[in-house]
Structure 1
Amino acid sequence: MAGPTTARRGGQKNTKSKAAGSARSPKRSRAALLPPRPPRRGGKPRKGAPRGSRPRPRSLRRRRLLLGSLAAVLLGTAVWWALYGSTWLRVTRVDVSGTTVLTPEEVREAAEVPLGDPLASVDTDAIAERLRNRLRRIEAVDVERSWPHGIGLKVTERQPKALLEKGGKFIEIDGAGVRFATVDHPLQGVPRLVVEPDGSPSHRRFGTEQLEREAVRVAAALPPPVRGDTHVIRVRSYDSITVELTGGRTIVWGSGERSDAKARTLTALLKAAGGAKRYDVSAPGAPAVSGS
């Protein structure tokens, strides 16, 4: 018996293919009904997404950087103009404080603060240097900007610790041995300094100026009650300094070394033997008292 013909075999194949296709068609329809998967964060868009649907990160960062740079330039220009180009922040006044002997007018004149200049451009260090050089009485000065229009000068004046008589006038000397002013009359409560070199080897070695500085060290170290009663600090050599008090009392001080320890010893001696005439603290560990 003859087999099926070619046409029949072809028909059977087509029938099987259609049946297989109809069997797989439900799976494709369920996948087609699912919503599209959203793109991952920070990742690349899925294939097939339309171009230009989201901005490029690099382009956005570049745009933000450009805007930030432009804003910084504009802000810096505005600040520079406000500080240096405008008339808003200019020096119009000079305030002086801390003076006792000097007058504010003397300080302003010596300072030469450039009125009308931008406050930000004022050289405060140069002002302080001018004051210290021109007014020897000034020991220190703080120069500060007082926004928006002022300069403040806070002065610390030197305090005289001893007076050196010369030509009928009195030279004021501070605790560092600096001669800073000359006055016509001696100040109350400030001892006079008398240098009487004895020709000893110490005088030839140190000289008169060094002896003066040693005497000033002694004057600065005296306890306040003793300093008020001191008339004369007499210097004959480096290690021969005596302090002459009211009532004919004398303190043998020795050199200016260990002056703090000598001052403490003197305070104790005055409490223990206040009626004595002579106090020797040249060796503070072994003081001596005599006279009554």
Structure 2
Amino acid sequence: MALPKGDDRVVSTGLADRLKERQQASRRLRLRRMVTAAIIVLVIFVTTWALVFSPLLGLRTQKITVVGSDGSVSDKQVRDVLASYAGDSLLRLDTGRLSTRVSDSLNRVRQAQVTRAWPQGLRVQLTMRVPVATVQGPDGYQVLDNEAVVLERVVEAPSGLVTIMPDGADGATGPQTISAKQVAAVTQVAGALTPQTLAQVTSGSATEAGQVTLTLSNGASVVWGDTQDNELKARVLATLLTSSASIYDVSSPHRPTTRSADGATAAPATPSQAS
């Protein structure tokens, strides 16, 4: 059956309209996608700027907290070291580099650990160097830790520290110098002692070969030997000091001996028994 005249034009017009609508819908979809993408990019940009470059997370030095100091380093000193980072976003800060900067800038600090304290602060945990010995220098006395790091210089030797003396084993009577090697040997030994034992030691000396001898406040002496097994020797010596003697020999910590004023020698407890 033939279509009525003019129906072909109606069909053509309907198809054209649907095609046009479909094209318009496609354009609207593309536009919505472009707008959505632009909004996402803008949000990412604004968020990144706000977090990384704006003052929102910028470091404020007054919000830097310091813990672990023994009083020789003030909070202000630590904040001054980190002052150049004020205003920088916490996200941009390299906490490892900041930790190193604090420990390198303050010689009383053995180690520093910097962590973020959101939103605008830092927490600085300090591990301090402990003074254990002192040695006389041309400009007074140097206070040293167990690594022979000079912590400070003072006019008079502080009490409670081991005074490093020249080695008198060679019988020299004139002025004697103390080498860096000798200083390091004594400070290593002093740093290994328990606080109770360290309080009883008044002075120490070392030969160039690294053989260390300590003198106690009661006049007794300790034959320490070299700087191997320092922790073991320290434990053994702490046990030996519970008995009276004039000489305590821990140079062979597995076979320590003591000698009394009358020359009698004893072999006290073994290290395993001492511990």
TM-score of the pair, normalised by structure 1: 0.66
Q: 72, 83, 86: which one pairs with 2:51?
A: 83
CA distance in structure 1 between the partners assigned to 2:133 and 2:158 by the alignment: 9
CA distance in structure 2 between the partners assigned to 1:131 and 1:270 by the alignment: 40
Preserved contact between residue 198 and residue 237 of structure 1 (Cα < 8 Å): no
CA distance in structure 2 between the partners assigned to 1:193 and 1:230 by the alignment: 11
CA distance in structure 2 between the partners assigned to 1:232 and 1:142 by the alignment: 34
1:286 maps to what in 2? 255
Change (3 A) 1:157 1:269: closer
Q: Would you say how many aligned residue pairs link Structure 1 and Structure 2?
A: 227
1:144 maps to what in 2? 115
2:264 aligned with 1:277: no
CA distance in structure 1 between the partners assigned to 2:235 and 2:95 by the alignment: 42
1:95 maps to what in 2? 65
Offset of residue 66 of structure 1? 7.7
CA distance in structure 2 between the partners assigned to 1:212 and 1:229 by the alignment: 19
Question: Whose Rg is larger?
Answer: 1
Code of the residue aligned with 1:286 in structure 2: it is R
Change (3 A) 1:243 1:155: same
CA distance in structure 2 between the partners assigned to 1:65 and 1:244 by the alignment: 84
2:251 aligned with 1:251: no
Code of the residue aligned with 1:174 in structure 2: it is D
Runs of 4+ in 1 over 6 A off after TM superposition: 62-68
2:209 aligned with 1:238: yes
TM-score of the pair, normalised by structure 2: 0.69
1:122 maps to what in 2? 93
Which ranges in structure 2 are unaligned for 5 or more consecutive residues?
1-17, 20-25, 171-177, 262-275
Q: How does 1:204-223 map to 2 (within 5 A)?
A: 208-223=179-194
CA distance in structure 2 between the partners assigned to 1:184 and 1:252 by the alignment: 30
Which ranges in structure 1 are unaligned for 5 or more consecutive residues?
1-50, 53-58, 200-206
Code of the residue aligned with 2:49 in structure 1: it is W
CA distance in structure 1 between the partners assigned to 2:231 and 2:68 by the alignment: 29
Offset of residue 131 of structure 1? 2.4
Change (3 A) 1:167 1:67: same
2:137 maps to what in 1? 166
2:153 maps to what in 1? 182
